[in-house]
Structure formats: C-alpha cells, structure tokens
Amino acid sequence: MVTHYVNPRYRAYGKARIDIAKRLHNPEDWERLWRTPLNTFPFKWGQCWKHCVEYQVDDFAAEVGFLIDILGLPVIAFDADYAMFTSPDEDFTFAVIPTPDGKQSTLPETIRLQFMVADIFDTTEELQTRGIVFEGQPEPIAEDSSLFISSFRTPHGIPIELWAVVEPEGNEIEPGVVAYEASSPVTESGAIDNDEVSESENAVQSQNDPESRFETNKLDDEDQSGEVQSEVEYEDILDDGYSTDGNPDDKDEDHWRKDQTGKQEWFRGKV
C-alpha cells in the first residue's frame, strides 16, 4: 500500500474540531462553539453533475443490472465500461466501472452507500418484493433512538443502508435536527465525572478558565514508523479560531441531561 506524508497540522486542526464536538449537546451549543473554517469553500460547480464517488467491480454486468433494473436508479452516463447513477431529481451521483486489468476491485467494505428515506418500513418491504435480501431489518441504531437503519448489498458486496427518522405519533422532531445517543461519564447527580473525561476534552474544558493553561501543551504526531514527525502548539490551533468562547461561568455540566438509561442525548444543530 502506498503511504504518503500527512501534515501534522491537519491532524491538530481535526483534534481541535473533535474537542469542540465533544461539547455539543444542543443546537445552541453548536451556534456558540462551532467556528467558521479557516478557508472558504473553493469549488464552483461545472456542468452535468456536482459530486461523484466511483468504485470498480469484477462483475460490471451484474452490478449495473442490479442498480438499474432492480433498484430503478436513473443513469446520467452509460456505456460498455462506465455507469453514473442518480435519482429522478438528481439528488446524488455515484459511478461504477469494470476493474481495469492488473488492478484490484474496490473492497466491499471500503464504502457504504446510504440513503435517508421517508418511510424505512415501506421502502424495505418494497425492495424485498423485488427479490433483494436484507442483511438487517429496520431497527434503531441505539436504544430509544429515533434513527432507524436497514441494509442490503449490491452484487459486488457494497453495503447499501437505508436510514430514516422514526418518531412516535404526536412527537414531531424539529426540522434540521437529528437526535443521537452518546455514552458519557456522569455522576449520580448528572454532573460530568472529570476523572473519566478524555485528555483532549479536558483540554477544551480548561479553556473556560482564562487563568488556566493546557496541561497538554503540544500534540505529538507520529508517522507509521512510530517516530515523531513534529510537534504542533495547541495554542496555535486555538489562536486560529478553534477555541471556545472562554466564558468561565459556562460549565459543561449545565449542558448535560441525564436520562433514565444513564446515556446523554445530544443534538447537532446542522445536518
């Protein structure tokens, strides 16, 4: 496998983002803590399509026959060795090609195609009437979650997942907000047990105290040989705009809600 050098600053940016994500428990947290990217979106769309993921298969005929005539996916482009698929409204695109001579086909677990549907039960039932065998019937992704998932595979083995928000009658979900379940270290009173919080989250929490400094001042990045490539100052990343608002009165435990199962339900304000 070909390896390439990864700029350690990329990883430092990612760790800072992940630290912020650990503090997001509701849409208000998202608006308060999330920071605008350092750079603006660079792409101006051309003609025909906007984005496409491509994979290569050993049995091109079986794959395209399944996708076109069983799933009923429209094609944007098609010939003897290329197929690009979409939806009737062209909401997405992905492509399939025969594996070139001397090359390896895409490993089935490399990617997953995921579709958010309006009714996961009706869609699953409809696809089963077409002869599609499901590996997993519709079920919540976690206990008491409103997100349901079912799955099947293409002839090449690429997983296709159906996702849906399933709410009890009379309990409508707020548009644009998806609920997730996440385990978290909490005490009997519902406050965070700091002894169980990860080092990276502790670093972000300490920003709320203007008098405090990070206990871990540097991010050490190692290459695959285990040697340190370089060290990135965490404060440099925070200076780039990834820090929290620095309000010393803003305590993490104010944003946690303990439910009956001991898990914390958090919301991401943008999906």
**61-103, pLDDT tens digit by residue?**
999 999 999 999 999 999 999 999 999 999 999 999 999 999 9
Q: Where do the CATH 3.10.180.10 domains begin and end in the chain?
A: 49-106, 108-176
Residues forming beta bridges with residue 75, ordered by sequence position: 85
Q: Which residues contact 138 (CB under 8 A, 6 or more apart)?
A: 120, 121, 124, 148, 149, 150, 162, 164, 166
What does the radius of gyration of the chain's CA atoms come to, in whole angstroms? 23
> What's residue 209's pLDDT?
37
> What's residue 144's pLDDT?
87
Residue 198 reports pLDDT greater than 60: no
From the list 24, 91, 18, 103, the residue with the least C-alpha distance to 57 is 103
> What's residue 237's pLDDT?
53
- Give 167's pLDDT tier (boundaries 50, 70, 90): confident
- Give 169's pLDDT tier (boundaries 50, 70, 90): low
What CA–CA distance (Å, rounded) separates 105 from 128?
Answer: 27
Write b or e for each residue in 197-217: b if 16 or more Cβ atoms lie within 10 A of its Cβ, otherwise e.
beebbebbbebbeeeeebeee
> What's residue 2's pLDDT?
67
- Percentage of the chain lying above the pLDDT 70 cut: 61
Q: Which of 54-63, 123-132, 215-224 has the lowest mean pLDDT?
A: 215-224
Average pLDDT over residues 216-231: 43
Residue 183 reports pLDDT greater than 60: no
pLDDT greater at residue 20 or residue 255: 20
> What's residue 45's pLDDT?
93
Tens-place pLDDT, residues 105-143? 999 999 999 999 999 999 999 999 999 999 999 999 998
Average pLDDT over residues 214-236: 43
49-106, CATH topology level? 2,3-Dihydroxybiphenyl 1,2-Dioxygenase; domain 1 (3.10.180)
> What's residue 246's pLDDT?
40
Q: Which of 133-142, 176-185, 260-269 has the lowest mean pLDDT?
A: 260-269
Q: Which of 88-92, 153-157, 232-236 has the lowest mean pLDDT?
A: 232-236
From the list 75, 59, 79, 55, the residue with the least C-alpha distance to 67 is 75
CATH 3.10.180.10 fits 108-176, yes or no: yes
